Structure 1
Amino acid sequence: MVKRFLSCCMLVVLLVVSLAGFPEIGYAATSVTANFSVNNGTGYANNFGGAVNQLDSPADVDTLRSIGINFMRRDAYLVQIVPNTTVADYKNNVGNVADPSTWNWSNYDWVDTYHNKGIKIMLIMSYNVPWLSHSNTMHGIPKDWDVYQDIIKKIYAHFKDKVDYVEIWNEPDLNSFLDRTNSGYANNLAAYKDIYYYAASGIRSVDSSIPIGGPATSSQNATNWADSLLNDSRISNNINFLSYHYYRQNPDGEPQVTSWRNVAVAHGKPDMPIFVTEWNYSPSYTKIPMNNESVDAIPYLAQRLSDFINARANGNGYFAFNKGTPGTDDFFSLYADGTLTPKMTVYRLMSKQLGLGDGDFALKGLSWLNGSATVLGGAAINASGNPVAWIVNTSGNGDNANVTFSGLTPGVQYQADLYEASRWQFASAIRQSFTFTATSGSGSISFWLPYKCAVGIKLTPIVP
């Protein structure tokens, strides 16, 4: 009996060992095709950007630049800059209070830092000063438009030639950011249109060409704001881009970019840039790991960046490129010691290694057939002329990936360099290199695609 039991156990062990040597049965490999003969419009380098509350150290900015960050959105707070006074004293320049050379610019050395390091800046004209506000708060509506316009004009003049875009106010669709108390305005949109008019007029008095935009709504669906702004003859010619915010846990392909663009098209402005100037997993200040240091933010961030690019958003501001400590701080992308959180490897992969942050690029075609992985991605010709493709695996399964490239120069030999952004690889070096000849303009490579990762492939013709 004991011998029979031992024999059965040995049979089971041998069977398990034998089966372990065979591949898992169920799914075919994941197949991806990048077609470089397809023209899908322009992709924009400003998609590799972020919004910032606090990041002043030149060393930290260098760290972001090293992974391809090239666009930053940040506030110019009127309440920090303009002295505390009264409307009457400002108008009479009592104590030189209306002279910007007496204002407090000490919190804004970052403008020079960012500009000198090659980052494009979107400056937010943030809110008001209490003494100029109907509600006596920094978020209140100006009670003297001439003074408000003069302040905006002087703040912009101080930063002129150092900033690249100006956004008027922030999330004016929320009462917490636009307080109508004692103002007489029936709704936030009506108030914002006047704010926009006077702010834009002040800026235009010193610069005829700087792009000005908004409305930077908290809702991605507030296209009625865009329609109303563009329908207002006082301001429509001074709306040079549209912007909104979109926090979402489950990526949806970013169809709102098209919805906002369609509003501009309806007003005869088909080339109106669309910026998503804040986005992340959640807007909640509750120390959510997906907003901060979670490795699962790698495929999330890669998917949303891919969606923004394929939707032809002109730029975006991931919130936020701040420094922080897990469990203590919110919305950070650098740890307190200045090192990068895992999710930032996605920027290194796409912007730096694939070269998509080096300049605007030509979008091409990408199609796929899922095996055990669940993928999406895109293809492009980067600003240097390299064909590139990126693949995001959002599933918890890894898989063999077969990638075919078509639309290449027939008969040319290519080197394909593969980079990986995952919990194991940080896109800091080539993971694998392949060579193939584009017979009839096509070629292919195969590799292992890990779970919850992003990979990028850059093709370079091999010169004999």
Structure 2
Amino acid sequence: MRKFWARAMSVAVIVAAVVVGGKATADPVPIPDPYVFTSADVGFIDGSDPAGRAGRIADMDAYVGAKKPIIRIDLFWDQVQPCATCPLNWTALDAMVDAAYAQGVRVLLILDYSVPWANGGRANNYFPTDDGAWAAIVAQAVAHFGPRVQAYEVWNEPNISAFGNYGDNSVDVRAGRYWELTRIAYQQVKAGCAGCVVLAGGSAGGDAYTVNNRIYNDNEARDWLEWAYQHNFGGYFDAVAYHPYPDWGGGHLPSYAKIPCDRDWYRFWSGFGPDDPACGGLAALRDVMVRHGDAAKKIWATEFGFPSAGSRQPQSPEHVRDALEEGVRMWRSRPYTGPLFVYSFQDTQKEFALCANPNEGECHFGLRDNDGNPKEPMYSDVRAALSGDTWLAALSPGRSLFRGAAMTSNDGRFTLWMQADGNLVLYDVRTGTPRASWVQGNQRAYRLSNQHDGNLVLYDQADNALWASGTSGKGDSTLWLQDDGNLVLYAHNPAPPKPTWASNTVVQ
């Protein structure tokens, strides 16, 4: 997306100067083989200072508790092999990969970027023109890392010309070269590691342009994937890489899209968006796969995030938390998704020139600030969503229940689900066969919000209210799913808490 050109280029320069200790000496924690990845897996990208990355892997591991995360790191070919006759320098990468392997943390390695001696003397964002050199570096990477790396991604956001430059930069020329590089990489990876997963695709929103005040974009992720299928490259990837960023500059939640999606709106601003290919980037990408008979493959969110600064209208910490939490819940509610990678575990280093502006959103995507301090309430609440903690019986003031999330009574006999189909349903599960006792949403709902004004409101993906408890003005309240099957909203003041609304679903 918008931040990655500056991030990738600056880190590529810095990482070559990093000197870290040798390989881990402790016995590694076993990583299952064959490699299995699911939408329950948690991934991280660390955008902060390179010198501290290896050490922060332990923090990422601890953050998700019993789960074992995945880290996504760049190969940076131009740093590993700056000249054709140079010996390969894996030092900086080994420090991170070894630290991960020692703890049983899996690694997704991005096969990027190019080198002047293999692309006609151009910048490292220009696709390689030397097939043999490209095949060789991929094969050497797979051989060098062996079982320490379990998945490979072909390039980062190749459908943005600032990252994937080639020829006249038309889709036919750029996509054609990219998918040929993907074919070569896939063959080399599988030759060296048959069980490794290979990801590919135009993972970003693409390059947009405006004509007569109308926005056009023929470089979307769905366009690049369509090109691959139409030109017989569908067999050269195991899963599709995608970056479902929302319009964080506008402060919009991941589910948001303008309704209707007319000429003033396009999917670049709805990288996730609703389950409508006309409005949501993820749905549009999935539609391509289904139409070409490739529905069995998964889509991996190899980058997803929402910054704590940089919106055109500053957002509260709770809103940032809600955006991340909604994205995690919605992602896992889709049956066709793989792992989701959070960008970033920690804010970009302060020394980066762009970050001299404290309001620069590109520098504030971290779950922790640049000094390693957790950003609350985001840090704790997003951890609960990522870890898949047991559903709670209460929804606190200012919190929302997003698609794919639930509340459960303390005795486990009743569950309130914000379902993937857009219905909010209260179930009686005492007999083992769920029975609906209260339903709202009419298949359009995306989140149930317990607002600070005391009102309980059900919203659709465009933030239109579908239903409300009518309790505005009661102040902070907590929604409880009681052991008697009743859903009750209790106002905090005046003490003791008093009920202001109930579903009237008491089970006798």
Structure with the largest fraction of strand: 1
Choose which of 342, 354, 362 in structure 2 pairs with 1:318: 342
Moved more, 317-326 or 273-282: 317-326
Helix, strand or coil for the counterpart of 1:339?
Answer: coil
Q: Residue 114 of structure 2 aligns with which residue?
A: 128
Choose which of 326, 330, 333 in structure 2 pairs with 1:303: 326
Choose which of 105, 111, 121 in structure 1 pairs with 2:91: 105
Q: Residue 368 of structure 2 aligns with which residue?
A: 334
Q: Does structure 1 conserve the Cα–Cα contact (< 8 Å) formed by 2:480 and 2:487?
A: no
Q: Which runs of 5+ in 1 are unaligned?
A: 1-41, 90-96, 357-367, 393-401, 412-420, 424-430, 438-442, 451-464
Relative to structure 1, the CA distance from residue 323 to residue 106 in structure 2 (aligned partners, 3 Å threshold; closer, same or farther) is: same
Q: What is the Cα deviation at residue 222 of structure 1?
A: 2.4
- Give distance in 1, aligned partners of 2:168 and 2:130: 13
- Give distance in 2, aligned partners of 1:104 and 1:206: 18
Q: Which whole-Å deviations, capped at 9, do the CAs of 1:104-128 have from their partners, x for residues lacking one?
A: 4234311122233333322111121
Q: Does 1:260 pair with 2:285? A: yes
Q: Does structure 2 conserve the Cα–Cα contact (< 8 Å) formed by 1:172 and 1:192?
A: yes
- Give distance in 2, aligned partners of 1:188 and 1:292: 37
TM-score normalised by L of structure 1: 0.62
Q: Which whole-Å deviations, capped at 9, do the CAs of 1:342-393 have from their partners, x for residues lacking one?
A: 222233222336169xxxxxxxxxxx9xx999753334799xxx8987879x
Q: Residue 436 of structure 1 aligns with which residue?
A: 483
Relative to structure 1, the CA distance from residue 410 to residue 291 in structure 2 (aligned partners, 3 Å threshold; closer, same or farther) is: same
- Give distance in 2, aligned partners of 1:292 and 1:215: 32
Q: Residue 210 of structure 2 aligns with which residue?
A: none
Q: What is the Cα deviation at residue 447 of structure 1?
A: 5.4
Q: What is the Cα deviation at residue 445 of structure 1?
A: 5.1
Which of structures 1 and 2 has the larger relative contact order (alpha carbons within 8 angstroms, sep 6+)? 1
Question: AA paired with 1:406?
Answer: D
Q: Does structure 1 conserve the Cα–Cα contact (< 8 Å) formed by 2:254 and 2:326?
A: no
Helix, strand or coil for the counterpart of 1:205?
Answer: helix
- Give distance in 1, aligned partners of 2:113 and 2:313: 29
> Pairwise CA RMSD of aligned residues?
4.4
Choose which of 392, 395, 404 in structure 2 pairs with 1:378: 404
Q: Which runs of 5+ in 2 are unaligned?
A: 1-36, 207-219, 256-271, 276-280, 434-449, 453-477, 493-508
Relative to structure 1, the CA distance from residue 293 to residue 163 in structure 2 (aligned partners, 3 Å threshold; closer, same or farther) is: farther
Q: Which whole-Å deviations, capped at 9, do the CAs of 1:181-222 have from their partners, x for residues lacking one?
A: 599996311111121122222212212231111114211842
Within-5 A mapping of 1:195-274: 195-219=181-205, 221-233=220-232, 235-247=233-245, 248-249=247-248, 250-253=252-255, 254=272, 255=275, 256-274=281-299
Q: Which whole-Å deviations, capped at 9, do the CAs of 1:213-253 have from their partners, x for residues lacking one?
A: 111421184212112223443x4322100122232232353
TM-score normalised by L of structure 2: 0.58
Within-5 A mapping of 1:59-458: 60-68=56-64, 70-82=69-81, 84-86=82-84, 89=85, 97=86, 102-180=88-166, 187-219=173-205, 221-233=220-232, 235-247=233-245, 248-249=247-248, 250-253=252-255, 254=272, 255=275, 256-281=281-306, 294-312=317-335, 313-324=337-348, 327=358, 329-342=363-376, 343-352=378-387, 354=389, 376-379=402-405, 404-409=426-431, 436=483, 443-444=485-486, 446=488
Question: AA paired with 1:251?
Answer: L
Q: Does structure 2 conserve the Cα–Cα contact (< 8 Å) formed by 1:291 and 1:331?
A: no
Q: Does structure 1 conserve the Cα–Cα contact (< 8 Å) formed by 2:125 and 2:164?
A: yes
- Give distance in 2, aligned partners of 1:173 and 1:103: 28
Q: Residue 93 of structure 1 aligns with which residue?
A: none
- Give distance in 2, aligned partners of 1:167 and 1:294: 32
Q: Which has the larger radius of gyration?
A: 1
Q: Which whole-Å deviations, capped at 9, do the CAs of 1:145-192 have from their partners, x for residues lacking one?
A: 111101111012222212232110111112211222599996311111
